[in-house]
């Protein structure tokens, strides 16, 4: 009986730790051309490199992929340029002790092969990497 209670206490404690680690994630939105400091790291959303996602109002066999370019730097360190994708690898990149993961890109093509003129907004999930 005591072993069962101890096991239950350990399971609840480990579940609480998993929730605490997950809560260290933060969602950040950046418009194209915008830079923001996140945990002392400057993150810049440079541009949309490719957007083959399914256009608004259409039905597609494949959801498509959006590829964006990010600039990352910390302090006076050299700027690192990374590419992230919505559905194909890489969908995340690690830099400065954090993981930056592609969550969403608000702009979608309006028709096949036609991009909208709306300034896209990139949503990133930022998570502290525990080592």
Tens-digit pLDDT profile for residues 24-59: 889 999 999 999 999 899 999 999 999 888 877 788
Over residues 64-112, the pLDDT tens digits come to 899 999 999 998 889 999 999 999 999 999 999 999 999 999 866 555 5
> In the predicted model, is pLDDT for residue 11 greater than 90?
no
As a CATH number, domain 26-128 is 2.60.98.40
Q: Where are the beta strands (DSSP E) in the chain?
A: 26-31, 35-38, 41-51, 66-74, 80-85, 92-95, 98-105, 121-128
Which of 8-12, 115-119, 120-124, 125-129 is least confident?
Answer: 8-12
* pTM (2 d.p.): 0.73
């Amino acid at each position: 009986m005591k072993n069962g209670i101890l096991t239950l206490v350990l399971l609840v404690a480990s579940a609480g730790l998993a929730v605490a680690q997950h809560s260290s994630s933060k969602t950040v939105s950046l418009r194209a051309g915008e830079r923001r400091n996140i945990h002392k790291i400057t993150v810049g959303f440079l541009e949309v490199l490719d957007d083959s996602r399914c256009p608004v109002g259409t039905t597609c066999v494949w959801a498509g992929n959006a590829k964006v370019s990010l600039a990352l730097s910390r302090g006076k360190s050299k700027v690192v340029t990374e590419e992230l994708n919505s559905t194909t690898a890489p969908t995340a990149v690690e830099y400065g002790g954090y993981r930056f993961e592609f969550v969403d890109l608000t702009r979608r093509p309006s028709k096949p092969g036609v991009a909208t003129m709306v300034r896209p907004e990139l949503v990133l999930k930022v998570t502290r990497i525990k080592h």
